[in-house]
Amino acid sequence: MSVVRKRAHGVTKEMRRFGQLADQLDAGRARIGNTPIERLRWLLRFSSRTRKELAAATQAALVALEAEVWAFALFVGARGEMTTRDPDSPPLPSDIADLAEEVARGMNVLCSPEPHLNTGWVVEPSKFGNWFRRITPDFRSWYGGNYRPVFLMAASDLLTAEGHRIASCGHCSQLFVRRKRGAYCSTACSQKARTDRYRAALGEERWREKRHGHYVRLIEQQKGKKVAAKVKMRPRKELD
């Protein structure tokens, strides 16, 4: 192969790699979403990733997740030129886990039941790589540098603007992004909370009687009245 053909082949191969990377970023951006609430929900899900989970993830899953992390960081940049990434280097689970743990630490501090007792989340992006912030002549600014510190700056900016939407579920205590006056992270938790209040209002014995009556009616529908008539409510001692 001639020198010219080798160079052309190298350029084509490099363009193909960056084309694949661009496709991954577009897919990652689509999974994240563009609105602040969509991005905040994604960030909350990302912060729940554990080191053990990431260590067991497939390479394809890691590539997809890293594309989301990079797309999240690129959102704050201008013209897509603010982060660095080697397309030939596979993502490391430890690198992604470091980011997830740092964001989780920040959210736990900021969403503490007694936030006035702590000093907030101190973000130190320089621990994760080089970064800079540029202010343009029209007084706009954007970050540059390695994608991990830029990701943390993007996360801190998003939490500054929208973090007040994060709340603790009234049933399971899991953090979630609240809409309006929502108090629960899911309809399941909302239903469980209503059930708990109804049970407390009835009293334990009355609650057991109603549950037993429902069970008897179910047996009657499935197996007939004779079988249902034999169903007895178990004594309380057998349940303890």
pLDDT score of 12? 56
- Judge if 10 and 91 occupy the same domain: yes
Q: Given pLDDT bands bounded at 50, 70 and 90, which one contains residue 116?
A: low
- Judge if 158 and 234 occupy the same domain: no
Tally the domains of the chain: 2
In a domain, 149, yes or no: yes
- This prediction has a pTM of 0.73
Q: Are strands 83-84 and 131-135 parallel, antiparallel or unpaired?
A: unpaired
The answer for residues whose C-beta is within 8 angstroms of residue 190's C-beta and 6 or more apart is 171, 183, 184
- Judge if 114 and 163 occupy the same domain: yes
Show the tokens assigned to 127: 């621990």
- Judge if 210 and 163 occupy the same domain: no
Where do we find the tokens 């499935």?
A: 222
In a domain, 122, yes or no: yes
In a domain, 97, yes or no: yes
Most confident of 8-22, 37-51, 216-230: 37-51
Residue ending a domain, among 146, 168, 190, is 168
Q: Are 65 and 91 in contact (CB under 8 A)?
A: yes
**Interval 1-16: pLDDT, tens:** 554 444 444 445 545 5
pLDDT surpasses 70 at 74: yes
In a domain, 141, yes or no: yes
- Judge if 73 and 158 occupy the same domain: yes
- Judge if 111 and 218 occupy the same domain: no
pLDDT score of 79? 42
pLDDT surpasses 90 at 148: no
- Judge if 58 and 154 occupy the same domain: yes
In a domain, 177, yes or no: no
**Could you list the residue range(s) of the whole structural domain that residue 211 is in?**
203-239
pLDDT surpasses 70 at 21: yes
Closest CA to 110 of 100, 99, 122: 122
- Judge if 129 and 209 occupy the same domain: no
Mean pLDDT lowest among 88-97, 99-108, 153-162? 88-97
Residue ending a domain, among 119, 141, 168, is 168
Average pLDDT score over residue span 207-221: 73
Residue 209 burial (CB count, 10 A): 13
- Judge if 91 and 16 occupy the same domain: yes
Mean pLDDT lowest among 23-37, 85-99, 165-179? 85-99
Show the tokens assigned to 224: 């007939």
In a domain, 45, yes or no: yes
Residue 217, CB half-sphere, CA atoms under 13 Å: how many? 6
Residue ending a domain, among 118, 145, 168, is 168
- Judge if 164 and 217 occupy the same domain: no
